Amino acid sequence: MSEPHYPVVASTPIYHGRILSVRKDDVRMSDGVVAVREVVEHPGAVAVVALHDDGQVVLVHQYRHPVGMFLYELPAGLLDVPGEAPLEAARRELFEETGLVAADWSVLLDIFTSPGMTDELIRIYLARGISESVDRFQPEAEEITMTVVRLPLADALGRVQSGRITNAAAVAGICAAALARDAEWRPLRPADVSWPGDPGRASP
């Protein structure tokens, strides 16, 4: 049985910012009624579960202005460099935020963060074979006060369950990594697997 089609009969830009844009879509529902949906357009992002050989996962502790607090997060960033593939963005973000590089990369999972209001899609990678980079990156803005934390994966999972880790990508990535480890890392998708989404969604 085919899924219902929800055609957009009109679309109106509302706001265009440095990172985010907002539009208003008039969408025809399955019963024929046209409903208004406001959509936050997002360029997409990547995050990295960097796991050391001793089982420690790398987290960053960073201030987030919209919620007004420091959060434990995975190394992560926007897909905002033209022509940069998601995997290369993940490598860049891991280096810039932690000074680390990884020899082994896999796709852990893909998540739509809040599909009721935004098209934001985050690809979360598993990075292993971790080592320190000989280069260093100069932090700026919120990254100036960001700190890097290493925790045993079991401890990070405990912080998720106790509510001490609440960032969506970190919660999903830590839980997925724990499940993948228990399954002896089977199955993991190749790091260069195609970007998910419907046929009309362009890959970053």
Percentage of the residues of the chain whose pLDDT score is greater than 90 = 83
pLDDT of residue 192: 92
Per-residue confidence band for 138, with pLDDT thresholds at 50, 70 and 90: low
Q: Would you say residue 141 has pLDDT above 90?
A: no
Task: Tell me whether residue 201 is in a domain.
Answer: no
Are residues 163 and 68 part of one domain? yes
Q: Would you say residue 87 has pLDDT above 60?
A: yes
* Helix, strand, coil percentages for the chain (3-state, nearest 5): 25, 40, 35
Residue 124: closest CA among 89, 83, 159, 82: 89
Q: How many separate domains does the chain show?
A: 2
Task: Tell me whether residue 194 is in a domain.
Answer: no
Selecting among 41, 84, 96, 143, the annotated active-site residue is 143
Residue 169: closest CA among 102, 101, 123: 123
Are residues 129 and 176 part of one domain? yes
Task: Give just the sign of the alpha carbon dihedral 115, 119, 122, 123.
Answer: positive
pLDDT of residue 186: 85
Task: Tell me whether residue 204 is in a domain.
Answer: no
Gap between the Cα atoms of 177 and 174, Å rounded: 5
Are residues 70 and 130 part of one domain? yes
Are residues 121 and 107 part of one domain? yes
Percentage of the residues of the chain whose pLDDT score is greater than 70 = 91
Are residues 68 and 23 part of one domain? no
Element (H, E) at 177: helix 168-182
Are residues 49 and 128 part of one domain? yes
Average pLDDT over residues 115-134: 94
Are residues 160 and 105 part of one domain? yes
Element (H, E) at 93: helix 86-98
Gap between the Cα atoms of 50 and 4, Å rounded: 40
Task: Tell me whether residue 156 is in a domain.
Answer: yes
pLDDT of residue 118: 95
Average pLDDT over residues 6-13: 96
Q: Would you say residue 77 has pLDDT above 50?
A: yes
Q: Give the pLDDT confidence of 156-198 residue by residue, as tens digits.
A: 999 999 999 999 999 999 999 999 999 999 889 999 998 875 4
Q: Would you say residue 3 has pLDDT above 90?
A: no
Are residues 141 and 65 part of one domain? yes
Are residues 169 and 94 part of one domain? yes
CATH of the domain at 144: 3.90.79.10
Place of tokens 């993940």: 90
Enter the DSSP assignment of 41. Answer: E
Apex CA 181: angle with CA 109 and CA 162, to 5°?
80
Gap between the Cα atoms of 144 and 76, Å rounded: 15
Are residues 49 and 35 part of one domain? no
Q: Would you say residue 40 has pLDDT above 70?
A: yes
Domain that holds residue 159: 45-185
Range with lowest mean pLDDT among 42-56, 62-76, 118-132, 186-200 = 186-200
129 and 89 Cβ atoms separated by less than 8 Å: no
Are residues 107 and 126 part of one domain? yes
Task: Tell me whether residue 157 is in a domain.
Answer: yes
Element (H, E) at 153: helix 153-162
Task: Tell me whether residue 127 is in a domain.
Answer: yes
Task: Tell me whether residue 2 is in a domain.
Answer: no
Residue 105: closest CA among 182, 185, 195: 185
Task: Tell me whether residue 75 is in a domain.
Answer: yes
pLDDT of residue 202: 42
Enter the DSSP assignment of 195. Answer: P
pTM, two decimals, is 0.91
Are residues 166 and 102 part of one domain? yes
Confirm whether 143 is a catalytic residue.
yes
